[in-house]
Chain A
Amino acid sequence: MSDDNPYGKDPTGTFFNRVQSFEIGDYPNTELVHFPKSCLHCEEPPCVPVCPTGASYKREEDGIVLVDYDKCIGCKYCSWACPYGARELDEHQKVMKKCTLCVDRIYDEALPEAERKPACVLACPTNARLFGDVHDSESEVSVTIRESGGYQLMPEWGTQPANHYLPRRKTKIKIHEDELIRADNPLKKEGLKPKTVVDEATLDDVTSW
């Protein structure tokens, strides 16, 4: 992974994962969406069949799209064939790099089972990223996609990304206008307040403390 001039004038390098920000809406009703972007591991990856050497491949067993760095000739054709721009040429190794879904971590039996997840999933402080098998309809990710309206990016190209995005969740409370005024205030409702009786003995008169 190249990382040139990290503290210099023109820092550049290869990324597996970027977080971009988009402002949505018209001022003042705007909100900022932070949008993490990496390889989506498509079910129909357009980057795979175009590879002339077979260096770019989708694994049969788990569907992870990977690059064989020893076979890649660095022709960049697969990066042209990815509508998401998920593939980047490593300027030093001159081969195509992309998110591997941390394929080395997720099968590493030396790690505790809870940690066999991609690094980005483990790192996310708010658990915004989920990891699992989208083909298992009862997995956490499948249930979340199904029940929370998970969607795919650029569905118009038929790439069917395995990675789904979840719509933003907002906590909303609906308050109707009339609920702002307390309609059932007993003091206002009954109108008359109990009056003090002047000519009768008060409690103080009949008791001696």
Chain B
Amino acid sequence: MHPALSVIFLTTLIGAGQGLFLALFTAQSYAAVDFVTIQNPQQFYAYGSGIALLLLIGGLLASFFHLGHPERAWRSVARWRTSWLSREVIALPAFMFFVFVYGVMHYFGWDPLVIKTEHPLQGQLSLYIGIIGTVLCFALFICTAMIYACLKFLQEWHSPLTVINYTLLGTASGFTLATAYSAMMAPELVTLFGTWATIITLTALVSRTASLLRNARIKHKSSLQTAIGVRHTNIQQKAMGLMGGSFNTREFFHGAKMGLFKSMKWIFLVLVFLVPVVLLATGMRSASIDILITAFVAQYLGLLAERWFFFAQAKHPQNLYYQTI
């Protein structure tokens, strides 16, 4: 498949935004059971939600560049019963709304107690808004990934690993960002976020490696024989019916040289997993904001490469019909 920049930015930006929100809510949950104490919680949650919202808006804007008719985008909520894309279009603004509410509540300190509990932090409304946000956040991860995972003849994508990877990689980048953010805003949380970021990044390494191994030995069900229905071991295309290229030759081939394609895999493995884990470890020890920001930037750039590779690796069966001019 041809990796579209709009989709690469959409999935990576909202992934980081979702992960950051999950990190903020993790901190709030920990605070509610006294695992951590946050010095300045209002500001911390409010600005954090603001950053998450900016990332989500960035992703949403990027998605519009993918559309031929962005002005009709509102129509895409119609088929949520059958289409994962439609479900994503609903889940993304819904999640953004709750992130917005979550941030605004903390910013203005509107946080009434809705349930009487022994611990004051356990009954606050923002905690329950956060729970809804978390549910929507995971729903959004599932919707985004299922857009790809539900296409059964794109065999590289048609696997639960796709959903797991989207969720883990998005969460990992969000937690790495939260580590850098907390180094600025709430240094007492650096270790919490940094540890989780490392754990999630390493878990994502396992699941992404699993999908790389799976895809390396994948057996494609379609062949030229089934594509044209002729049973012969030696079939060669002699003409594709056009000479100057078409949508079919542009949309479904990545067009990159084999060297670039192969090196992209190692680039993302190093940038998404190795570099951030090392930088997180050193950054946590030295509490250096610069190192932690570098960790996030490296991981985000790596995720751009990861997403590029994810698209480029998928072999669409229609390519069988476009083997030669």
Chain A residues at the B interface, C-beta cutoff of 8 Å: 5, 9-15, 18-26, 32-33, 35, 37, 46, 49-55, 71-77, 79-85, 88-89, 91, 93-95, 151-157, 165, 167
Contacts and interface: CB of A to CB of B under 8 A. Distances in A.
Contacts of B322: 85
Contacts of A157: 152-153, 221-222, 317
Given A52-B85, A88-B247, 16 more contacts: A14-B247, A22-B236, A22-B237, A24-B235, A37-B241, A51-B83, A53-B78, A53-B86, A71-B75, A72-B68, A79-B251, A83-B318, A85-B318, A85-B321, A88-B246, A153-B227
B147 interface: yes
A56 B147 CA distance: 16
A82 B223 CA distance: 15
A88 B248 CA distance: 7
Contact of B244 (A10, A21, A73): A10
Contact of B229 (A13, A80, A153): A153
A95 B235 contact: no
Given A74-B67, A80-B154, A35 B76 contact: no
B32 to A, nearest CB: 38
B242 interface: yes
Contacts of A51: 79, 83
Interface string B214-243: 000000011010111110101111111111
B307 to A, nearest CB: 15
Give 5 nearest A-B pairs by CB, closest first: A74-B68, A85-B318, A94-B68, A18-B241, A52-B76
Given A22-B238, A74-B69, A85-B316, A165 B76 contact: no
Given A73-B67, A75-B76, A84 B318 contact: yes
A72 B85 CA distance: 14
B155 to A, nearest CB: 11
Interface in B21-77: 66-70, 72-73, 75-77
B247 A20 contact: no
Contacts of B89: 52
Interface of B: 1, 66-70, 72-73, 75-79, 82-86, 89, 147, 150-154, 221-222, 224, 226-230, 232, 234-248, 251-252, 316-319, 321-322
B79 A22 contact: no
Contacts of B243: 11
A117 B234 CA distance: 36
Given A12-B245, A85-B321, A73 B76 contact: yes
Contacts of B153: 46, 83, 154, 157
Contact of B242 (A15, A80, A94): A15
A53 B76 CA distance: 4
Contacts of B316: 80, 83, 85
Contacts of A94: 68-69
Contacts of A24: 230, 232, 234-235
A15 B78 contact: no
A154 B227 contact: yes
A52 B147 CA distance: 11
A185 to B, nearest CB: 42
